[in-house]
Amino acid sequence: MLEFLKKHGKGILLCLAIAVPSWFLGKAFPIIGGAVIAILAGMVVTLLLRDKSGMEPGIRFVSKKVLQWAVILLGFGMDLNVVVQTGRQSLPIIVCTISVSLLVAFFLHRWMQIPGKVATLVGVGSSICGGSAIAATAPVIDADEEEVAQAISVIFFFNVLAALLFPALGQAIGFDTTSGEAFGIFAGTAVNDTSSVTATAATWDSMWNLGSATLDKAVTVKLTRTLAIIPITLVLAFLRTRREKQDGGNRVDFKKIFPFFILFFIAASIVTTVAVHFGVSASVFDPIKELSKFLIVLAMAAIGLNTNIVKLVRSGGKPIALGGCCWVSITAVSLLMQHLLGLM
């Protein structure tokens, strides 16, 4: 333990020094969120630090291991019974939006020659659940800190746009203003990050005095989307194994890149589901869910510390265009599917 602290302590403390104020600022400005603030702060701090060689092991530990712990703890926010009930109504929309976004990311990656890992992270982040999906996918495809930072930045930009524009768009299109059902499904399927889903749905509730009806629906649909992390990471692990085998001609051990932390995520979801079934209040798991969110902020601080902001800005045009195309396609498919299913 002492050896671990000696080697990693300085880096972990630096990450905490950035993450704690970022966490509270994220609470004050939920439309931005603590994760984005932490990654930006980390980028600025790393420009000012002339020598962080003694901190690198700790920073690397936080950006890799702590990120996986955050995804595992995220599972405690999943009551699978609620997800199944909501899925009957929203699953066709979720499947279509995820499929279209991933296809758009794949074809634009080829056409615009965007690096494959960045395109994958943007596609997965746009279609599933923003930063959480990127956190789960990054270790599976062996993405580095700059690739993660680039994807998070793109997702953040379109999160803010969605939170600002979607309530007005919903009003213009003619969503039902006497119930939060339809707009809640739209917000839950077309906005990717939880903080922005919350901001978008809460705005609609306040516009039409719906209490928390829209917010409750949107968050539940969002939880259903989050489960897509499981098949996506498993498929990506398989594809990486096959590709490395073809490229190197050597047999790649699938177990070395298999996302075992996803199994713990599933186990955490099952624990919550069983506990709630036997009468335990879901609010018991709220502190663990909050810890998960804080660990994501902590990991983003570490990723920011390992990111060259100058290089990020210079190479940001194509990923932003990719994120925009994914965002527009998800929005269009969500609206189309709701119309076809008679939910609007």
pLDDT digits (tens, 9 = 90+) for 253-297: 556 666 677 788 888 889 999 999 898 888 888 898 889 889 888
Checking if the pLDDT of 250 tops 60, the result is no
Q: Is residue 10 situated within a structural domain?
A: no
Supply the range of the domain harboring residue 184. Answer: 78-284+311-340
Which comes out higher in pLDDT, residue 47 or 256? 47
Q: What is the mean pLDDT of the chain?
A: 85
Q: What is the pLDDT of residue 98?
A: 92
CA-nearest of 50, 59, 51, 71 to 15 is 59
Checking if the pLDDT of 252 tops 60, the result is no
Q: Is residue 255 situated within a structural domain?
A: yes
Share of residues in the chain with pLDDT > 70 (%): 94
Q: Is residue 169 situated within a structural domain?
A: yes
Q: Is residue 36 situated within a structural domain?
A: no
- Distance (Å, rounded) from C-alpha 270 to C-alpha 125? 24
* Domain count along the chain: 1
The CA angle 195-199-202, to the nearest 5 degrees, is: 135
Q: What is the pLDDT of residue 186?
A: 94
Mean pLDDT of the region 109-120: 92
Task: State both tokens at 152.
Answer: 């998070």
- Distance (Å, rounded) from C-alpha 79 to C-alpha 257? 28
Mean pLDDT of the region 226-255: 75
Which comes out higher in pLDDT, residue 144 or 18? 18
Checking if the pLDDT of 82 tops 80, the result is no
Q: Is residue 223 situated within a structural domain?
A: yes
Q: Is residue 183 situated within a structural domain?
A: yes
Q: What is the pLDDT of residue 214?
A: 87
Q: What is the pLDDT of residue 255?
A: 63
Q: What is the pLDDT of residue 71?
A: 77
Checking if the pLDDT of 251 tops 60, the result is no
Residue written as tokens 């009806």? 213
**Residue 236 contacts by C-beta under 8 Å, 6 or more apart in sequence?**
120, 137, 140, 141
Share of residues in the chain with pLDDT > 90 (%): 25
- Tell me the per-residue pLDDT of 173-207, one tens digit each, with 9 for 90 and over: 989 888 888 999 999 999 887 777 877 888 898 88
- Distance (Å, rounded) from C-alpha 15 to C-alpha 305? 8
Q: Is residue 2 situated within a structural domain?
A: no
pLDDT-based confidence at residue 312 (cuts at 50, 70, 90): low
